[in-house]
Chain A
Amino acid sequence: MDPTGRSARVWAALSSTKIWRGTLATMIFLVLWEAAARTGISRIPAPSAVAVTFSELMGDPSYWFSWYLSTQRVFSGFIAAMLLGIPLGLAMAVSRAIYGTVFPIFEVLRPIPPLAWVPASIIFWPTQELSIAFVTFLGAFYAVVINVIGGAQAIDMRFYQAARSMGSSSWDIFRRIILPGTLPSIIVGATVGIGIAWAVVVAAEMISGGGSAGSMGGAKGGGLGFFIWNSYVGGSYTQIVVGMISIGIAGYISSALLRKLGDLVTPWLREQ
């Protein structure tokens, strides 16, 4: 890569209004938060105290093990949701019979919050790990399916007609029109779905007591949700905030990765 080009791009990125605006807003937020904590307006620990705890936890394997557990649970549920949700959404979009059969059941189940499934899934699934993964799966699943159906149904009729008149078979139409035409909606569904999966996994870990997975190489933990709950029970308020920020960072990284993946697989949507 051309080093001059790279440094020019880095400089352009650093000098962009967007970056500076975001940095300035974050700094103002931290200053206000610090002031609120020091003057006693807020009982939330000051960011300086949170930063100290954060640096201490950086060397604690149990903290990273909680990251690992939650990430594993989110991604196992999320990947299952994608693997089942995309084909189901596409099938419902292209087949009236499947849509007519499945959609009513889907619409009855969809409004049930994933967390309402926690007790039932603890009873139903043999391990707590599976229960948490199932609830995480549900969180992402509905978002994926709804977006896939919407995306496939929104493909302009002209594209089908053009493809048909150029001699496309049904398989060609599925592969060359429906699939790429739905891809942007699949990415949107995935981005929304993984956000919900993070929200759900934390709550599920709190409710289920951190699941059944407990230690690895001396590190103990029950996921970030359990980490927060444990910090609350142990009275470590700075750790609670560290746990909350960790979830925010995890969610942000997951969404950013999916957006990046989306940019790669939908090059025609890149900003001109």
Chain B
Amino acid sequence: MSSEPAPVYEPSIAPPAPSPTRRPDGSRKGEIRIENVVKVYGSQTAGIRAVDNCSFDVPAGKITVVVGPSGCGKTTLLNAIAGFHSITSGTICLDDQVLCGPARPKANPGPDRIVVFQNGALFPWKTIIENVAFGPMVQGLLSRKQAYAKARTMLAEAGLRDLESNYPGEISSGMRRRVEIARALMNDPKVLLLDEPYRALDSLTKSVMHEALLETFDRNQVTVFFITHDLEEAIFLGHRVVIMTTRPCRPKKILNVDIPHPRDYSVLTAKRFREYLDETVEAVHEEALKAFAAGERER
């Protein structure tokens, strides 16, 4: 690692860096703009305010990692982008399209925003290849033969060539995550939404997963919105790390992690990496204390 100037911390939202991610008109891009989003569960007055006046950008073709105390509202935000939950007010845009806003509080789920879930959501009754080929087939974009051919390519790229006839229950949890990411990428999404996908994995598997994700990212340059509690993971993966306040959720600090891609595990010992990590720990710890004081202990 070269000794670089101190990291640039951005107290407010900075315009995203130009993205190499396709167009015109191959298409894709995948910039998300979150503007003054509020989400209240229950009644406006007595309900739980999970997200409050939350604004930040997720630049196209970059990995944006969102960290924050448990229960702060990160997943609520992800679910709103995915179209699983409504928002109370504010706007979420994907490129030029308003996903949800005053006129439509709940976005329609769609293959331009694919979620990789915390506990995985591969269909247990489908084989690996059936899972991976699922999206383009139900959308009627590809015939079974075409979808399987593409799925085989995706699986081969992810190093999972020999597993196509297995069921998800027959492979390791690390492999399941990789299959799930391959399944997501089959849909050529603008945005990958990853909700703590590696939470349940042991640290060795996790490190392999991180490198696999970065490889996948370098190959596909898709926008990634990644939620985690693991701060090392956040800095290691992210171009941008958004540190959230305790509930109600809004950005406390946004870091642009100025460590060049492609990254590998040698980055973890670099001075700049530790500086980013210290800064993140400090900010998150402050929020964790607030959450603790509010009775929201870590699960």
Mark A residues whose CB is within 8 Å of B.
156, 158-159, 161-169, 172, 176-177, 180-181, 183, 266-269, 272
Contacts and interface: CB of A to CB of B under 8 A. Distances in A.
Interface SS of chain A: helix, strand, loop or mixed? helix
Given A156-B121, A162-B117, A272 B169 contact: yes
Contacts of B169: 268-269, 272
A165 B138 contact: no
Given A165-B82, A167-B110, A268 B124 contact: yes
Interface SS of chain B: helix, strand, loop or mixed? loop
Contacts of B134: 163, 166, 176
A162 B134 CA distance: 10
B125 A181 contact: yes
A272 B109 contact: no
B52 to A, nearest CB: 25
Interface residues of B, number: 27
A167 B117 contact: no
Interface of B: 82-84, 109-111, 113-115, 117, 119-121, 123-126, 134-135, 138-139, 167-170, 183, 187
A180 B125 contact: yes
Contacts of A165: 82-83, 109-111, 113-115
Contacts of B135: 166-167
B121 A167 contact: no
A181 to B, nearest CB: 7
Contacts of A267: 167
Contacts of B114: 165-166
Contact of B138 (A161, A168, A180, A269): A168
A161 B75 CA distance: 14
B110 A158 contact: no
Given A162-B117, A162-B121, A176-B123, 12 more contacts: A156-B121, A161-B115, A161-B121, A162-B115, A163-B134, A165-B82, A165-B115, A167-B135, A167-B138, A176-B134, A269-B169, A272-B170
B138 A176 contact: yes
A165 B124 CA distance: 17
